[in-house]
A and B are shown apart, each in its own frame.
Chain A
Amino acid sequence: MDFLPFLVTQCLNALSQAALLFFLGCGLTLIFGIMRIVNFAHGAFFMLGAYVGYSTVHWTGNFWTALIAAPILVGGFGAAFELGILRRLYGRDGHAFLMVTFGLTLVMGEVIRLIWGVEALQVKPPESLSDIVFILDEPFPVYRLFLAGAGIVVALVIWQFLERTRLGLLIRATSQNAEMVHALGTDVRLVRSAVFGIGCGLAGIGGVMAAPLVTASLGMAPNAVIDTFVIVIIGGMGSFLGSLIGAVLVAFVQVFGTYYFPDFALAFMYLIMVTVLVVRPGGLLGKEA
């Protein structure tokens, strides 16, 4: 194979992977920025998105509906959980949050197992995206191009949302100084619930979009949360730009690493994680370790 087409296709591959990772990382970093907690259940929300996507496609036959329904359902559930349960924990030490979100992961894992079973589930991408295009004479799935494009679009949307809208402003302000925002008259609790919901919703979108590529399975949750954690550590906890950079970096390492050492994909993640935690526990752009 010629080098240039190979490079181009693998880069596009990496970009599509980066999109998925970005959905996850962005959500986690937003939640951390506001709530100063790492949502351990983030991988479970991703997984839930995939399964909800599967069922929606199954019932309606329409992928696009799933793309809208999944984040709303998943995000809504996330917001509800924050309202009902996480709110009670704000006074307590960090371990309580970790345990509860971990418990949530387990509960979600079991619920998914009960409803959908243990077998991995195939999700078909929509007809319009199932084709193959030829880039520099190399075949490349359209769906991955769609993913990469969707990632860029979502990144732009979120960026503008944070910069231009009132809620976005509130979110940025709260992540810097929650007390001040509260003193200025906003109910910070609502901002928190909203952000948790948005963050989980983003994870849900990631899940739906990932499903046609990786199939929906119970093993998604722990791997997703590890990937997400690595991205956010690299990019810095609480940094939107950081989650973008982290996603791209990790995606490139994963894609090229998997090509050259196919059996060691997971070992790679572990290695990256250890290296990052040892070298720069605060991340590259982060606020806090």
Chain B
Amino acid sequence: MRLLLAAAALLALLPFGLPPYAMTLLTEALILGLFAMSLDLMVGYARLISFGHAAAYGFGAYASGNFLLHTSMPLPCAVLLAGLLGGIVAIGVGWVCTQATGISFSMLTLAYAQLLYAVAFKWTPVTGASDGLAGIPRNPGPFGVTWWSTHAGFYYLTLAFLLGAFVFCRQLVRSPFGAVLRGIRENEAKTIALGYNTRRYKIAIVAISFGVAGLAGALYAPFAGFANTELLFWLLSGQVLIMVIVGGAGTLVGPVLGAMFFLYVQQKLSSYTDSWALFFGVIFILFVLFMPEGIWGLIQSRFKQKTV
């Protein structure tokens, strides 16, 4: 607990004395961290492997993009609403996908993402087709606040969402609901035999996961100022899964670290070579083979050994 408060304080103080471009990078890291954390709910806590999580992210981005472009809705409200919308739509998606289990489930998530990707190219009024949405403003408010237009303002908004979502997710996985998820993860047949309607729990976690991912996407749109089909592309789904596994699935913190690591390496490597994404793919395979608990998982188990 103290570790986390320290981390939160660190993140809060970090912007002071940082050049704008570093702050922009940090903001993007937090957004990706939120995105990765949302996937951890499905992958790490319920063992529902989604290959199409970009669908939730892109959905959130297009939703908030539309809200901000076509209405004068305040920025935080647009983000929240987009996330909520994503979560609600995901109830239906979750219902369909949980008809199947195992790899069939994963294939369905991928198919859904591909479907959204294709739809985005055609639904011009909402998505701007292959051009996407551009010039997404950071609407002021509520109460006329225009802080979001500054680097620092947007950073703190993102940090607030990340910390808020983190606290929420942490409570969720430690709640009775979370205990059932754990049962599903370790032995679904037994969980059903105990009398739990596991399907409902799975649908619920899919909806929550998509909703939080939607928040991340909804933050990205005003952050970057645009939203396009790249945000729904399958390679992005892959990258966020890599962040979760490399960071440490089932820890909530791990994926956030994974996202930061990912972005850091991307920045450092992309000045030398174009193949940083390839590097990550290889790292991913190595981690699955040799270090499946991820970076944070490894740190946690070392830490437990020390205190025992």
Q: Which residues of A contact B (CB under 8 A)?
A: 38, 40, 85, 88-89, 94-96, 98-100, 102-107, 109-111, 113-114, 218-219, 221-223, 225-226, 229, 233, 263, 266-267, 269-270, 273-274, 277-278, 281, 289
Within 8 A of A (CB), among B239-264: 239, 241-242, 245
- Say if the beta carbon of B275 comes within 8 Å of chain A: yes
The CA-CA distance from A104 to B245 in the complex, in Å, is 15
**Among the listed B47, B122, B275, B288, which residue makes an inter-chain contact with A114, where contact means beta carbons less than 8 Å apart?**
B275
Q: Could you show 22 A-B contacts with beta carbons less than 8 Å apart?
A: A96-B292, A99-B288, A102-B51, A103-B284, A103-B285, A107-B278, A109-B234, A109-B238, A110-B235, A110-B277, A110-B281, A222-B110, A222-B113, A225-B107, A225-B110, A266-B114, A266-B115, A266-B118, A270-B114, A274-B99, A277-B108, A278-B99
Whether the pair B111, A269 counts as a contact (CB closer than 8 A) is: yes
- Say if the beta carbon of B289 comes within 8 Å of chain A: yes
The CA-CA distance from A94 to B47 in the complex, in Å, is 12
Whether the pair A100, B235 counts as a contact (CB closer than 8 A) is: no
**Among the listed B104, B235, B280, which residue makes an inter-chain contact with A277, where contact means beta carbons less than 8 Å apart?**
B104
Q: Which residues of B contact A274 (CB under 8 A)?
A: 96, 99, 108
Whether the pair B238, A233 counts as a contact (CB closer than 8 A) is: no
Find the B residue at minimum CB distance from A218.
B235
Q: Which residues of A contact B282 (CB under 8 A)?
A: 107
Per-residue contact bits, chain B 114-125, to A (CB 8 Å; 1 contact, 0 not): 110010001000
Whether the pair B104, A281 counts as a contact (CB closer than 8 A) is: yes
**Among the listed B102, B103, B275, B288, which residue makes an inter-chain contact with A110, where contact means beta carbons less than 8 Å apart?**
B275
Whether the pair A100, B289 counts as a contact (CB closer than 8 A) is: yes
Q: Which residues of A contact B51 (CB under 8 A)?
A: 102
**Among the listed A94, A105, A229, which residue makes an inter-chain contact with B107, where contact means beta carbons less than 8 Å apart?**
A229
Q: Known: A226-B110, A266-B118, A267-B115. Contact between A103 and B49, CB under 8 A?
A: no
Interface SS of B by simple majority: helix
Chain B nearest CB, measured from A99 CB (Å): 5
**Among the listed B100, B112, B122, B288, which residue makes an inter-chain contact with A270, where contact means beta carbons less than 8 Å apart?**
B112
Whether the pair B234, A222 counts as a contact (CB closer than 8 A) is: yes
**Among the listed A96, A113, A270, A289, which residue makes an inter-chain contact with B111, where contact means beta carbons less than 8 Å apart?**
A270
The CA-CA distance from A270 to B275 in the complex, in Å, is 33
**Among the listed A104, A106, A278, which residue makes an inter-chain contact with B235, where contact means beta carbons less than 8 Å apart?**
A106
Q: Which residues of A contact B241 (CB under 8 A)?
A: 102
Find the A residue at minimum CB distance from B245.
A99
The CA-CA distance from A221 to B238 in the complex, in Å, is 13
Q: Which residues of B contact A88 (CB under 8 A)?
A: 289
Q: Which residues of A contact B108 (CB under 8 A)?
A: 273-274, 277
Find the A residue at minimum CB distance from B274.
A114
Find the B residue at minimum CB distance from A274.
B96
Chain B nearest CB, measured from A96 CB (Å): 6
**Among the listed B100, B107, B115, B281, which residue makes an inter-chain contact with A106, where contact means beta carbons less than 8 Å apart?**
B281
Find the B residue at minimum CB distance from A269.
B111
Whether the pair A107, B111 counts as a contact (CB closer than 8 A) is: no
Whether the pair A223, B107 counts as a contact (CB closer than 8 A) is: no
Q: Which residues of B contact A273 (CB under 8 A)?
A: 107-108, 111
The CA-CA distance from A149 to B96 in the complex, in Å, is 38
The CA-CA distance from A40 to B248 in the complex, in Å, is 22
Q: Which residues of A contact B118 (CB under 8 A)?
A: 266-267
Whether the pair B285, A107 counts as a contact (CB closer than 8 A) is: yes
Q: Which residues of B contact A269 (CB under 8 A)?
A: 111
The CA-CA distance from A85 to B96 in the complex, in Å, is 33
Whether the pair B285, A100 counts as a contact (CB closer than 8 A) is: yes
The CA-CA distance from A273 to B111 in the complex, in Å, is 9
Whether the pair B49, A98 counts as a contact (CB closer than 8 A) is: yes
The CA-CA distance from A120 to B282 in the complex, in Å, is 25
Chain A nearest CB, measured from B102 CB (Å): 7
Whether the pair A277, B99 counts as a contact (CB closer than 8 A) is: yes
- Say if the beta carbon of B146 comes within 8 Å of chain A: no
Per-residue contact bits, chain B 270-296, to A (CB 8 Å; 1 contact, 0 not): 000011011011101100110010000
Within 8 A of A (CB), among B74-120: 96, 99-100, 102-104, 106-108, 110-115, 118
Find the B residue at minimum CB distance from A227.
B111
Q: Which residues of B contact A277 (CB under 8 A)?
A: 99-100, 104, 108
Chain A nearest CB, measured from B200 CB (Å): 17
The CA-CA distance from A88 to B114 in the complex, in Å, is 31
The CA-CA distance from A287 to B104 in the complex, in Å, is 16
Apart from A98-B106, A99-B288, A103-B284, what are 15 other A-B pairs with CB-CB below 8 Å? A100-B288, A102-B238, A103-B242, A106-B238, A110-B277, A110-B278, A110-B281, A114-B278, A222-B113, A223-B114, A226-B107, A270-B111, A277-B100, A281-B100, A281-B104
The CA-CA distance from A187 to B96 in the complex, in Å, is 42
Q: Which residues of A contact B115 (CB under 8 A)?
A: 266-267, 270
Find the B residue at minimum CB distance from A81.
B285
The CA-CA distance from A189 to B100 in the complex, in Å, is 31
The CA-CA distance from A255 to B282 in the complex, in Å, is 38
Q: Which residues of A contact B235 (CB under 8 A)?
A: 106, 109-110, 218
**Among the listed A95, A263, A278, which residue makes an inter-chain contact with B47, where contact means beta carbons less than 8 Å apart?**
A95
Chain A nearest CB, measured from B95 CB (Å): 10
Q: Which residues of A contact B245 (CB under 8 A)?
A: 99
Find the A residue at minimum CB distance from B118.
A266
Rank and list the top 6 A-B pairs by shortest CB-CB distance, nearest first.
Answer: A107-B281, A110-B278, A103-B285, A106-B281, A106-B238, A266-B118
Q: Which residues of B contact A114 (CB under 8 A)?
A: 274-275, 278
